[in-house]
């Protein structure tokens, strides 16, 4: 089965630490209050390792990767 991997943020859990944007700057930017803005694009294979690290290192456990079939 083919599919894509997307990064999602739970805004109710996020506390705006910003470390996700440091770990995955190619896919995450911060708004003016320091909360992540996730690119509406698939995570490319070359960034998957960095995306997994951002999810694992999130102090608020607000990030997750989801696999979507197409």
**4 contacts 67 by C-beta, under 8 angstroms:** yes
Q: Please, what is the average pLDDT of the chain?
A: 92
Domains annotated on the chain, with CATH: 3-69 (3.30.70.20)
**DSSP E strand stretches across 1-70:** 3-9, 28-30, 36-38, 63-69
Q: Per-residue pLDDT tens for 20-47?
A: 999 999 999 999 999 999 999 999 999 9
Task: Check residue 1 and give its pLDDT.
Answer: 42
In angstroms, the CA 70 to CA 68 distance is 7
């Amino acid at each position: 089965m083919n599919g894509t991997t997307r990064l999602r943020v739970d805004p109710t859990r996020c506390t705006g630490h910003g470390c996700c944007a440091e770990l995955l700057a190619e896919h995450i930017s911060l708004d003016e209050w320091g909360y992540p803005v996730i690119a509406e694009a698939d995570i490319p294979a070359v960034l998957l390792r960095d995306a997994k690290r951002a999810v694992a290192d999130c102090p608020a456990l607000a990030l997750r990767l989801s696999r979507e079939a197409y």
